[in-house]
Amino acid sequence: MEGSAETRQPFRGMKALVMGLGLHGGGLESARYLADHGAELTVTDLRDETALSPSIEKLKAAGITARYVLGRHDIKDFEQADLVIKNPGVRPNSPYLQAARRIETDISLFLAASPARLIAVTGSKGKSSTSSAIHWVLDKARAKGLLSGKAYLGGNITLSPLTFLDGLRAEDDVVLELSSWQLGDLRGKMSSVPNPGNRALLKPRAAVITSIMPDHLDWYGAMEAYVADKRVICQGQDGRDVTVAPDDSWGQSFLGETKGRHLVYGMKPPDGDRAGGWVDDASGCGLARLGSGDIVEVVPAQLLTPGVHQKKNLLAAALSLLDLGLPADFIRESLGTFPGIEHRLEFFHEARGIRFYNDTAATIPEAAAAALEAFDRPVVLITGGTDKNLDFSCLAKAAVKAKALVLLAGTGSEKLRSLLDQAGIPYRGPFGTVDEAVKSALEAAEAGDVVALSPGCASFGMFLNEFDRGRRWKEAALRLA
Numbered residues of the known binding site for ATP: 123-129
With 0-12 / 13-18 / 19 or more C-beta atoms within 10 angstroms meaning exposed / middle / buried, residue 13 is exposed
For 94, left (φ over 0), alpha (ψ -120 to 50), or beta?
Answer: beta
Strands 67-70 and 276-279: unpaired
Helix (H) or strand (E) holding 419: helix 411-423
The torsion angles phi and psi of 431, rounded to 5 degrees, stand at -110, 140
Q: Angle between the 466-480 and 434-444 helix axes, to the nearest 10 degrees? A: 50
With 0-12 / 13-18 / 19 or more C-beta atoms within 10 angstroms meaning exposed / middle / buried, residue 448 is exposed
Residue 215: HSE in the Cβ half-sphere, 13 Å Cα cutoff: 24
For 31, left (φ over 0), alpha (ψ -120 to 50), or beta?
Answer: alpha
The torsion angles phi and psi of 147, rounded to 5 degrees, stand at -135, 155
User: To 5 degrees, how large is the angle CA 454–CA 457–CA 458?
Assistant: 120
Three-class DSSP category at 151: strand
Amino acid at 416: L
Cβ-proximal residues to 145 (8 Å cutoff; 6+ apart), any chain:
none
CB contact at 8 A, 10 and 34: no
Helix (H) or strand (E) holding 136: helix 127-143
Measured distance CA(377)–CA(357) in Å, rounded = 12
CB contact at 8 A, 317 and 340: no
